[in-house]
Structure 1
């Protein structure tokens, strides 16, 4: 063979090898083969290979075997790190969607809109999408719908797939920002942190724990306790019963080797309980259906061991999946086999100075498929025929058992009831009456998405009511759940609290397996701050024993908790929005104000704003006190840092991190001489 021929053969062979190598460099990945729920930062369901309702994907009569079905405004975020080359899909409104509402599909890469479908409605021809992704690090798939709270807004990313370099797959958006700790550790001397007001009904069992930080051992005392109450000086637990209605001022005291602390506690015996929002733990976002007695006891022990109980954290609430069948003295719901010693468990938790809650529903079956508070069978049986088709029995049955169930809860010593799933006013009213007649003060919380149109009924009947859908651990969900609650604010107050759902901190199971919250550290500070400003229930949904130092620090700032537990019980109002900053103002009982300055950016105003791109920066901001309705001079305190900032008039300059907060407490200041500090 000649040298020339050998040369050209080598060239052809080399070209073939390069071509083959290039062909092997990419692979197609179907989005429906990914754990797609983990990529969703929206609120409604996202499902692979079906619509969001679990039906076949059908658009304009055409069936699709592959794809991702979404509902309402949907946010899917992927970290590609420059390892993808293309995305293809066919997009449109599902044939089971709502006709009149337009959906707009976007493909966004590194802040640039790469595809915009324009408005699409049910019946429109689906559109094919092919977008090159070379070099793109972060990818966002957005479906924008002005849903106004409506559901069944089904749309689809049919046949959606990514082409990526071989050996690479899309990952979740990194959440590796520094978990910076702002709050100093508690002093060794005592500080009393429990609520300054407590309500109970005449003749009902009374349980109040003096929560105090400081070095142990510690001794507790109380002056002015009404007749019928006793204080355990070692534990600070006050128990008993008070027969006579009235307001009783009590001075409580905690003392250790470093000093002592006192606090005025107002005990109000009357018709109204829940004079401050509940603060504690709920098991659903920790363990969902896998909850059992061992996990509940471990959570109670951890609440004490981790020190949360010293900061006022009180409730240990068992969510869905504890229920067995009807029986016992009252023919009431009994615990299932996962809770073999239910009453003993309740007594043990009470012995720790904590309270216990459970879950139920007025429907035949609960969300998780367990027995509910009604039945189509007169004796309330729960036969295999119902258990085999649980979803078909999500309605209120002919026969209802509110009275029996409430009496059983009281007999066990239950302190809290979460009553769940599309509550109607008659169901809420029946259980409200049953609880009041049970002989025990049981905090009454209704869930899920109590309609605003009935808010006066919720105020009249319940102690808290869910103001929106189930929360997810994303900024979008937090924003929808909390930053839109201004219209609810006038209705919340002592005895009846606006409830934006559980807190999404620590390790959570909101739709996927247990994982660290996807909120950034800045967003977590905003989360705790706003819930406290709103006087919302503070119910963490993470395994307490798994708390890291950052999350524990978030949950144990007593000045933040004090804002939530303020006896005046007023919710903050949104008083100003400017330059991407929201200002929420809350009046407090002592005449001071709590103010949250939140950098929400332009969230929701542009397609790009729904995603986190990794290049966000802090915003300098000048807080004009007069614009917030605050006139005169104020002494400002940084609540998270527990640090006085000085006296200011007119303006206060600061910097707010992206999706972060500056939480202030403002005390009116009248100087003897004009010595105001200016920024």
Structure 2
């Protein structure tokens, strides 16, 4: 008996003589023929996918064009299909063994940076299948054709050392995947257990407010005592300076102080189970933002869809979810609130999405929270709304500017910093995010305008402040963005936060290094609202490092959508206390070896906060840019002497809020991949 079967191309396989093979092989061969051969292969263009959702890099990724939105052009050859990327780019796909091939032509775009070499990699299940070698502008495109049979996870990497330079464009031209049974690639699964470490808050009162607060003489004063514990609760304050009063039911302190000076105050929170006390130093002088701002920003929640209802819902949720009891304060409206110039100051007025702007601000203040807004010295904002300058004396946007808004992202001839600052002060604004490719003159003009506005308005500049001017940012602002916009990926977190050691000496009370918003919860960073792509371990690392860095903590997700894990992540008072420590020192990277980093932060009481991070070999090999699902923890012995600490220390696990003992010289632990052990170290004589 002879058996024949046609494969997909119609070619007959070799005849099998069944007298010469065992029966079970015949059954196996029949199964292969009726399943594998029956599967149909189809080709899909990468640019037909929602390609932004697969990007774990930072800059833009666009289908069918360059990352700048132009036609793809490599060495004089145009391409209509493909994906354009910018700088180091990471595209990650889950294929589940249902793809057979990837093909493309790769190269540096003709409008890209001619000085920088790019290297293209195709990585599949930890194996590098394609390495282009260094490619530069003007090189002919190189063909990519790799087999993917059985591959679960695919990574497309473009590696380039851009160091903040612009127009670093390259292309995956004609990029296609051959897939089985019309399978559509998925995002890399993020199904790790959302393990909760922090115990529930106690019913006894605990005051969680920062221990120091700065305000300017004669300007409105607003400070809320943040306290956890069973309600109802009453508040009192001993030593309040003249001009301030406390609402004993809400813990909100308001008024105006005329006399400069430092005022020691004793705060008390009391409920039916007991009372808590805490010392507060109020410093009335020239410096505000004595601790990093902590609150919420609407951009990564709602982007251009922000409106008055969403803002007020966020403020209500901050109170309802209890975040305000842990010190969370600011409700910041990002780009897309701006309308036209007008009013008595000829300043930017709110658009139709904010019909009762002043009433909204007053409502949020009534909750004991503060309000922030967004602006820019450019003619148009990044979202295309009116900015703080114009080439026309009246400052209004024409129909032409609205239609060509990207062309007006520059500082115009006529500037309106004083107008806008006075309007913000009259509304009661407490925070300004000022956003553009930062230069000193624009930063200084707004700094002066805010200080002369008659209100304390925390001044935060964004984005990618040049490090060369860091002394100017310290002099002029309260916080300054140290890098590009953050994305919900380990790569973006690593670039935004794990590279900040050189900035550390410059951050401190009144002027904070800002790595951007937090990327926990449900976020939208160029795609639709979705759960953060950071694993739970990465999220613990994220919050730990931001706190160690004394960074502004601005939640970037809808507060009302917080799940139990994310809420727990954001309400550990001992972690927040590290961020809000009055000494204001940023942690330093004091040790790095074999994929472990140690960040050390001195605290006001003489103790240290220490983060032991397992960053792996991230960025050192093409494979390290991707998550493969088989990562394991690493055993590590923390030798105190290697970071300059000698003797015995009482160690406290900050996330678990648990003392773990007194250790002499070293401490051994396991650290999850991309995870952290966050410790508080108290010198011990015993």
TM-score, normalised with respect to structure 1: 0.96
Question: What CA deviation, in whole Å up to 9, does each residue of 1:576-630 have, x standing for no partner?
Answer: 0012100000000000000000000000000100000000000000000010111
Alignment partner for residue 231 of structure 1, among 246, 253, 262? 246
Does residue 1:531 correspond to 2:546, yes or no? yes
Does residue 1:386 correspond to 2:396, yes or no? no
CA contact (8 A) 2:293 2:552 kept: yes
Secondary structure of 2:619's counterpart equals coil
Alpha-carbon offset, residue 377 of structure 1: 1.2
Alpha-carbon offset, residue 661 of structure 1: 0.2
Q: CA RMSD in A?
A: 1.7
Tell me which residue corresponds to 1:194.
209
Alignment partner for residue 76 of structure 1, among 77, 83, 91? 91
CA contact (8 A) 2:7 2:37 kept: no
Alpha-carbon offset, residue 383 of structure 1: 2.3
Tell me which residue corresponds to 1:361.
376
Alignment partner for residue 221 of structure 1, among 224, 227, 236? 236
Question: What CA deviation, in whole Å up to 9, does each residue of 1:7-33 have, x standing for no partner?
Answer: 999999997897999486111010000
Q: How far apart, in 2, do the equivalents of 1:251 and 1:179 lie?
A: 39
CA contact (8 A) 2:596 2:615 kept: yes
Does residue 1:347 correspond to 2:362, yes or no? yes
Q: How far apart, in 2, do the equivalents of 1:11 and 1:620 lie?
A: 54
Q: How many residues get paired?
A: 666
Q: How far apart, in 1, do the equivalents of 2:37 and 2:488 lie?
A: 40
Does residue 1:124 correspond to 2:147, yes or no? no
Secondary structure of 1:44's counterpart equals coil
Alpha-carbon offset, residue 97 of structure 1: 1.5
CA contact (8 A) 2:8 2:38 kept: no
Matches for 1:339-488 after TM superposition, within 5 Å: 339-488=354-503
Q: How far apart, in 2, do the equivalents of 1:538 and 1:19 lie?
A: 57
Matches for 1:312-323 after TM superposition, within 5 Å: 312-323=327-338
The list of structure 1 runs, each at least 4 consecutive aligned residues, that deviate by more than 3 angstroms after superposition, is 7-24
Q: Which moved more, 1:627-636 or 1:308-317?
A: 627-636
Does residue 1:540 correspond to 2:550, yes or no? no
Are residues 460 and 107 of structure 1, via their aligned partners in 2, closer, same or farther at CA, if it must alter by over 3 Å?
same
Q: How far apart, in 1, do the equivalents of 2:611 and 2:300 lie?
A: 27
Q: How far apart, in 1, do the equivalents of 2:573 and 2:165 lie?
A: 39
Q: How far apart, in 1, do the equivalents of 2:422 and 2:554 lie?
A: 25
Matches for 1:138-149 after TM superposition, within 5 Å: 138-149=153-164
Q: How far apart, in 2, do the equivalents of 1:212 and 1:104 lie?
A: 53
Alignment partner for residue 596 of structure 2, among 573, 581, 599? 581
Does residue 1:593 correspond to 2:608, yes or no? yes
Question: What CA deviation, in whole Å up to 9, does each residue of 1:469-520 have, x standing for no partner?
Answer: 0000000000000000000000000000000000001000011110000000
Matches for 1:146-225 after TM superposition, within 5 Å: 146-225=161-240
Are residues 167 and 438 of structure 1, via their aligned partners in 2, closer, same or farther at CA, if it must alter by over 3 Å?
same
Tell me which residue corresponds to 2:18.
none
Q: How far apart, in 1, do the equivalents of 2:479 and 2:152 lie?
A: 43
Secondary structure of 2:422's counterpart equals helix
Q: How far apart, in 2, do the equivalents of 1:12 and 1:494 lie?
A: 72
